[in-house]
Amino acid sequence: MGNENGTWIMYGVEWDDPECLHTVQDAIDYINEVGFLPLFKNDIPGFSLEERTAVEYWWCGNPKVDPWEWRELIARSGEVAYGKFFEKKAGFISKEWLPYFVNYRRDGYDFDALWDDEKASRRQKKVMDCFEIEDELYSNDLKQKAGFAKGGEKGFDGVVTDLQMKTYLCVKDFRQRKNKKGEFYGWPIAVYAKPEALWGYEYVTSRYSETPEVSGKAIAQHIVELYPVANADQIKRLIGGAFGTEVKTKKKKTDYPQNT
């Protein structure tokens, strides 16, 4: 999705295009096939859910065909991790590739160790402490419990985004809130959880045995294999991390005399 002269533009495919994803299961299968996928268009052409779906069905409200609704169903499925994983924007990571991202983005640190080494902020610690008591929290409840309510800490959204980028948190679901009578009301809001609460500590941290650099290079090379047009700068921006990765991009062969 791009903004041209103040107008938001969606980039997709025709419904009858062979590359078009038609159902949420199509989307889940495709994410599992490619390993990870941003929600919206980015610097790498074709590397997003947006560019694999029909533009006219976005925000139509029908979960059978609306990719915006699919993100809620995908998060709820437990088959794929969903959160702000790419350049602080939303995207998906398959269970297969999640341990690679965890090892790379966390630089091999559990959050407690990150805090002990003074590499986490006090506000991040206040948010993560809430998940020592609860396995999941509505966004509004987390904001309250972590001390970001009116008159408290500032920058809640930025802190939670940073924790998602580092894979310490993800979006488990989207649900309506309940009033005092137990009745649902309003729009569905994000429900956050630690990946470990969804898939287990041993699985989520299963790449800790290798260096973060090795995990990062595996992610980068996987993108190159899928999208040879991607250059090193585009890949590094997209996958983020504490340090750059060495990316071997494929060079195009040029015949004489163009290569002189």
Is the peptide bond between 228 and the residue preceding it cis, with omega within 30 degrees of 0? no
Extract the tokens encoding 219. 């992610």
Helix (H, G, I), strand (E, B) or coil at 199: helix
**Site of tokens 């090795």:** 214
Host H or E run for residue 177: strand 170-178
pLDDT of residue 201: 98
258 phi and psi angles, rounded to 5 deg: -65, -25
Provide the Cα torsion 146, 150, 152, 157; round to 10°: 60
pLDDT of residue 178: 84
Separation CA 19–CA 81 (nearest Å)? 23
Output the tens digit of pLDDT for each of the chain's 260 residues.
Answer: 555 555 668 999 999 999 999 999 999 999 999 999 999 999 999 999 999 999 999 999 999 999 999 999 999 999 999 999 999 999 999 999 999 999 999 999 999 999 999 999 999 999 999 999 999 999 999 999 999 988 899 999 999 999 999 999 999 999 998 888 888 889 999 999 999 999 999 999 999 999 999 999 999 999 999 999 999 999 999 998 755 556 555 544 434 344 33
How many Cβ atoms from other residues are within 10 Å of residue 232's Cβ? 15
Instruction: Report H helices in 19-66.
Output: 24-34
